[in-house]
A and B are shown apart, each in its own frame.
Chain A
Amino acid sequence: NAGVTQTPKFQVLKTGQSMTLQCAQDMNHNSMYWYRQDPGMGLRLIYYSASEGTTDKGEVPNGYNVSRLNKREFSLRLESAAPSQTSVYFCASSEYQPDTQYFGPGTRLTVL
């Protein structure tokens, strides 16, 4: 039972490049989330998916898009990366909203 997995673990991009962060959970959870964590800012919600087929904006959605591919997978896309998107990105899932959230190990992204 792997829980929540994220790929890649580390990534370096140049300004303007695009990339997709992948997240998968094997707990049959309905809700999934993407957060970013920055020093001095805490964790902030980017987007979430309350159930398969739905997505909603969180606190800091600008510059990101998401896709809930199926019940297991929730991806985060940066279309044109900017240095301000340098951060650690966490994916999480929960059985329902509101409920305990389980977090993945994170992706450390640097945009030069």
Chain B
Amino acid sequence: KQEVTQIPAALSVPEGENLVLNCSFTDSAIYNLQWFRQDPGKGLTSLLLIQSSQREQTSGRLNASLDKSSGRSTLYIAASQPGDSATYLCAVLGGSEKLVFGKGTKLTVNP
């Protein structure tokens, strides 16, 4: 059974810092991996999707990498801003064709 772990559960950083969020998964047979953002009381917004054949994807200040063989992904956020404060969720789509989510990392960026 696929399990997805996100470390740390919470992270607090000063504005302007570069930061990395980690995601690990137990079964490397995946179709893709997605990073989502969730604001309090809101739904999920897809940030980046990495296909299993890809190593990384970039969107603005965000860069996500995927190392399928080691079962790891990282989300790099450059020059963090208070508006980046949210919970970040990692999810993998595997052979069952169902998304399996991690429990998220709650990020707080302090002005």
CA gap between A99 and B45 in the complex, in Å: 14
Asked if residues B102 and A42 are in contact (CB atoms below 8 Å), the reply is: yes
24 A-B pairs with C-beta separation under 8 A: A40-B103, A42-B4, A42-B89, A42-B101, A42-B102, A43-B89, A43-B101, A45-B99, A50-B97, A58-B98, A90-B44, A92-B44, A98-B31, A98-B32, A98-B93, A98-B97, A101-B34, A101-B99, A103-B36, A103-B43, A103-B44, A103-B46, A104-B43, A105-B42
Q: What range describes how many residues of B lie at the interface?
A: 20 to 34
Interface residues of A in 27-82 (CB under 8 A from B): 33, 40-45, 48, 50, 58-59
Contacts from B to A (Cβ < 8 Å): 4, 31-32, 34, 36, 41-46, 49, 89, 91, 93, 97-99, 101-104
Q: What range describes how many residues of A lie at the interface?
A: 20 to 34
User: Which B-chain residue is minimally distant from A97 (CB atoms)?
Assistant: B97
CA gap between A98 and B98 in the complex, in Å: 8
